[in-house]
Structure 1
Amino acid sequence: MHGSTGQLLYQGAVLAASQNIVVVSVAVRLGVLGNFYWPSKAPGNQALLDLRLALDWYRNNSVRAFGARADGVTLAGHSAGAVLTSLFASQRDNRDLFSQIALFSGGHLFSRWGTMTHQTALAKSEMVSGQHKIDVQIKYEVY
């Protein structure tokens, strides 16, 4: 997980071309869309949900789509992606979706900027929804 695959170091094509692996880059919602919190309609970190949905899809489609195994997944992240990877790996319900993690920076689960309490997340979400008069309606579609 990384905010961008623009740097050569993080381009999966290099790894896939030189190793016998499948590289999947996942785009997750960032900023207010990724961290939006509304107890009854968006009761968690939406970026973590995006990652969960992507890994569920990979597990269910990896053989058919890529000719790859669904097990042996290494979840990797850099910077904010390392924080998201740490948070995802710390949740017991996600542990069947990967076998190991790799963190490529100092960003981790205990970063002050990478985590917030439900109260803080709700206050920020209320502020944004109030400023922009957002009617909170969450709908999930997986393609």
Structure 2
Amino acid sequence: LEVVLPWFAIGTAAMANGICRAAVQRTTEHLVSTGFEHDGLMLRDLPNLRARLAEMSVRTEQSRSLLGQTLDQIESPSEVTPLFVLQSRLAALQAAVDVTDLAMKACGGAAFSRHLGIERLFRDARAGWVMAPTVDHLNDFIGRALTGLPLF
């Protein structure tokens, strides 16, 4: 378990970060290329949509940064390396859910159509929540590690 879990956690964290990056890219493309015929405004002209996109980008980069720190920990292991691995997976899974939720809101009704691909990212982001170790398990493991209890 100590051999498989870290690599699975890192792999799924990377996958979740990829979902975040794809959601940011597709949302950006939609906001830049879509507008209103009646007044000529583009979606990117709306400050609330730009704010959602900005939040998506920040959450994505926060998660990617933690994953990078975790990979550094794996290259030079210490007593906190397992904690970094667990936190990296949890942060990435949460970021993917948050970022795709914001993408759905920023893209509006178009987000439900298959041509943007956001609805699939929204669905895929949620898969990590129920794949063991689930988000609830990860929170428990992290809490156990922080309070000096054994993980298993």
With normalisation by structure 2, the TM-score equals 0.26
Tell which has more relative contact order, 1 or 2 (C-alpha 8 A, sep 6+): 2
Bigger Rg, structure 1 or 2: 2
With normalisation by structure 1, the TM-score equals 0.27
Structure ranking higher in strand proportion: 1
